[in-house]
Amino acid sequence: MAPDTVSLRYFLVLAQELNFTRAAARIGVAQPALSARMRRLEAELGTALLVRTTRSVVLTTAGAALAESAPSALAALDRAWDTARSAAAGELGTLRIGYSLSTGAETAPALVDRLMRDHHGLEVGAVPMATPEISPAVADGRIDAGITRGEQPGRDVHRFLLRRQRVGVQLAQHHPLAEHQEIEIADAAAYPLRLPDRAANPVIHDQLSAIFLDIRPRPRFHTPAVCFDMSQRDLRDGVTLAPAGEAAATAQPAGLTWRPLRGAPSLTIHLVLPREPSPLHRRVRAVATTLARELHWLPTRQVPPLRSEAAHRPSGSARQASSRTK
List pLDDT tens digits, range 78-123: 767 766 665 565 565 688 999 988 788 789 999 999 988 887 777 8
Phi then psi dihedrals of residue 203, to 5 deg: -65, -50
What is the structure's pLDDT at 317? 40
Distances (CA, A) of 153 to 135, 149, 157, 161, 321: 7, 11, 9, 14, 13
What is the structure's pLDDT at 84? 60
Task: Give the pLDDT band (50/70/90) at residue 55.
Answer: confident
What is the structure's pLDDT at 5? 86
Phi then psi dihedrals of residue 224, to 5 deg: -70, 155
Give residue 143's Cα distance to chain centre: 13
Range with lowest mean pLDDT among 117-126, 128-137, 141-150: 117-126
Range with lowest mean pLDDT among 26-30, 100-104, 206-210, 228-232: 228-232
What is the structure's pLDDT at 322? 41
What is the structure's pLDDT at 323? 41
Order across the sheet with 167-172: list the strands: 242-245, 167-172, 256-260
d(CA 267, CA 108): 16
Report pTM. Answer: 0.63
